[in-house]
Amino acid sequence: MNNELRSNFLGDRVTYKIPNEERAVVIGASMAGLLTARVLAERYDKVIVLERDELPTSVENRRGVPQGLHTHGLLAGGREALEQLFPGISAECVSNGAISGDILQESRWFMEGACHARFASGLTGLLMTRPFLESVVRERVRRLANVEFRDNIAVTGLAASPAKDRITGVTVGEEVLESSLVVDATGRGSRSPQWLEAMGYPKPEEERVEVGLRYTTRFFKRRQEDLDGDMAVIIPPTPSGKRGGVMLAQEGGRWTVTLISHFGPAAPADLDGFVEFSRTLPAPYIHEVVRRVKPQGDASSTRFPASVRRHYERLKRFPQGYLVTGDALSSFNPIYGQGMTVAALEAVALKGCLAEGTTDLARRFFARASKIVDIPWSMAVGNDLRMPETTGPRSAAVRMINAYIGKLHKAAHHDPAVAFAFHQVGNLLRPPSHILHPRVAARVFWGNLRSRALAPAVAGALGSNLAQ
């Protein structure tokens, strides 16, 4: 392989070429960018990852990833996808401090007034901070001999063939970096719609659901006795209270706690205000811990106005040699922890597309990515539309599904089979239709009948206890 660079002047720009070499460029060293680079390294002689930030050499947050300061989750489907791309990475993360455990047996999922049934589900989750996971993945990608990272570089546009039917590289200032394939992994702020429009292509149809989300995150020291050893608490916001929280065990003997507010002020950053906000959640588990344990570091607050999905799969015209992936395709309400898992699943889909060749690559990839996004998008948006203030289409089907999901959660309080079905879908291991299967629906129906039958006895017992 000839790695010697030569330059050719095209007007006032310098074009860098590598003779007799197929090269791919990934814009953005996000999780999606890293996973994409890993897949492309199997097909291309050279893969160059361009990142506008300075890439850290240790576990630390990057300026361009403000979400990295907040709680992240890697769903079971994401962990399995990572294992396909990086065999042994789960064990490597755990050996370096990540927390591994059964998603149902060792966590408290407080839904519709009570926790889901707890049992050994076999659904394994990995808990760690975003900078921790990103550093492990980045180091794995760095070990690939044909991958090169270039940081502190801002891509300013795309280079194209004279007919504008193929992307031939990217522009960096006055230079053109040529490549056979360019992949945009720059996240929510992607400039792909504008770049493509400037070349005469239509912008992708954009779906937007306003969620008015604000959240504040703090780290706390984790004690062995906290939550009786459980590793996670998830308390989603409700339509009435619109407040929720997530508390996950993390590397370094810490808790990460994110308090969430829909269409209202964020949880205060000061410790007393943060603890008081946690007291107002629908369940007491987070408050019981944070009012007793020692805080670590300062709080971080941010806002997430809307979930956005760009439908590239619906475009009838699209240039060859170009792809868009990760949050640049779709960014979800972060409280559901789907982003990194979706990025991993899209990378696996790209691997499959490349195994079939590069002809018509964009159409094939966008079609597969769309099917991946359909599942978390429908789950996140459907749940967000339970909030009266959320803007978005509320069809009769959406209202019916939301009513059914509420009943499913109530049945899951005491039925492990229903809880397992829901979490298989929630962890992107099964399609949403799985929870509508007649066997599951029947258990939901009978479970709710049972709950209503038991309600008078439970209320009577509670009344007697309160009277004593």
Look up residue 82 and give its amino acid: L
Token digits for 158?
């795309």
Give the chain's mean pLDDT.
88
**pLDDT value at position 400?**
85
pLDDT in tens, 162-187: 999 999 999 998 899 999 999 999 99
Parallel/antiparallel/unpaired status of strands 46-50 and 23-27: parallel
Parallel/antiparallel/unpaired status of strands 124-127 and 99-102: antiparallel
pLDDT(65) > 80: no
pLDDT in tens, 247-273: 999 999 999 999 999 999 999 999 999
Q: Which residues pair with 170 in a beta bridge?
A: 158, 177
**pLDDT value at position 394?**
76
Would you say 17 and 9 are in contact if contact means Cβ atoms under 8 Å apart?
Answer: no
Look up residue 173 and give its amino acid: G
**pLDDT value at position 452?**
62
Would you say 411 and 448 are in contact if contact means Cβ atoms under 8 Å apart?
Answer: yes
CA geometry: angle 38, 158, 147, nearest 5 deg: 20
Q: Cα–Cα distances in Å, from 57 out to 132, 139, 313?
A: 11, 9, 37
Parallel/antiparallel/unpaired status of strands 243-250 and 254-262: antiparallel
**pLDDT value at position 15?**
40
Rounded CA separation 458/299 (Å): 41
Which residue bears the tokens 């803007």?
A: 391
Token digits for 11?
């007007």
**pLDDT value at position 466?**
29
pLDDT(465) > 60: no
Look up residue 146 and give its amino acid: N
**pLDDT value at position 221?**
98
**pLDDT value at position 432?**
87
**pLDDT value at position 378?**
85
**pLDDT value at position 63?**
66
pLDDT confidence tier of residue 399, bands split at 50, 70 and 90: confident
Number of other CB atoms surrounding residue 267 within 10 Å: 28
Question: What phi, psi does 5 have (nearest 5°)?
Answer: -85, 140
CA 156 to chain centre: 26
pLDDT(238) > 90: no
Question: Residue 216: which H helix or E strand, with range?
Answer: strand 205-221
From 74-83, 274-283, 356-365, the region with the lowest mean pLDDT: 74-83
pLDDT confidence tier of residue 1, bands split at 50, 70 and 90: very low
Would you say 10 and 32 are in contact if contact means Cβ atoms under 8 Å apart?
Answer: no
- Under DSSP, the state recorded for 436 is G
Among the listed residues 59, 385, 43, the one whose alpha carbon sits nearest the alpha carbon of residue 237:
385
- Under DSSP, the state recorded for 86 is S
**pLDDT value at position 45?**
96
pLDDT(43) > 80: yes
pLDDT confidence tier of residue 462, bands split at 50, 70 and 90: very low
Q: Cα–Cα distances in Å, from 461 out to 9, 116, 453?
A: 84, 22, 14
**pLDDT value at position 439?**
95
End-to-end CA distance of the chain: give it in Å, rounded. Answer: 83
- Under DSSP, the state recorded for 247 is E
- Under DSSP, the state recorded for 385 is T
Would you say 218 and 246 are in contact if contact means Cβ atoms under 8 Å apart?
Answer: no
pLDDT confidence tier of residue 397, bands split at 50, 70 and 90: confident
**pLDDT value at position 262?**
92
Rounded CA separation 303/449 (Å): 40
Which residue bears the tokens 């906000």?
A: 277
Would you say 216 and 299 are in contact if contact means Cβ atoms under 8 Å apart?
Answer: yes
Q: For the chain, what is the radius of gyration of the CA atoms?
A: 24
Handedness of CA 176, 182, 187, 189 (dihedral sign): positive
Q: Domains, the chain, ranges and CATH?
A: 6-94+131-207+307-380 (3.50.50.60), 100-121+208-306 (3.30.9.30), 396-467 (no CATH)
Would you say 447 and 418 are in contact if contact means Cβ atoms under 8 Å apart?
Answer: yes
Look up residue 71 and give its amino acid: T
297-309: b (≥16 Cβ within 10 Å) or e: eebbbeebebbbb
Q: Which one is predicted more confidently, 75 or 465?
A: 75
Name, of 59-73, 239-253, 388-402, the range with top average pLDDT.
239-253
Question: What phi, psi does 245 have (nearest 5°)?
Answer: -165, 155
pLDDT confidence tier of residue 62, bands split at 50, 70 and 90: low
